[in-house]
Structure 1
Amino acid sequence: MTSAPINVEQAAALGGTCQETVRRALRSGELHGRQRAKGGTWKMRPGCVKRWAANEPCKHQALPEPVSLREFRTNGRRTA
């Protein structure tokens, strides 16, 4: 079950910060969110806001485990 998206005001309350801090984090990409149109209402997942407030990467920011060049080449994952 996923939580419904929240707006900037709700995110600020959930993260314990002000609305402008949330907006800055959204614009910089530090916090994941979306707008249907430029200048529109921001919507984001509560889980992303909680992790952002705790200074932890959300699942969208998690990087894959590093792979050695040898393993990369032998697994045939070349794109070019």
Structure 2
Amino acid sequence: PEWSRHVTIAHQTKDLHTADYTQLYDFLKYNQKEVDELKAERLAKIQDPLALMTNSNNPYASPAPHQDQSPFNQ
């Protein structure tokens, strides 16, 4: 998702068959600051244990049902 915008811009501004590696490198280097910021945001989310548990699909991360709500107590 983050790279889709950069790929679109690169594709629109350069014919990839004729662009040399230095042009592509310069384009990527120009946008490196934004890429680093996106990586830092992602890393901050991963390093926060509560955020990691909230966003995970781990079945053990969800709260256990209260005893009154259990279908076995009927």
User: TM-score when scaled to structure 1?
Assistant: 0.30
Higher share of residues assigned helix: 2
Q: Which has the higher contact order (CA 8 A, sep 6+)?
A: 1
| Larger radius of gyration between Structure 1 and Structure 2 | 2
Higher share of residues assigned strand: 1
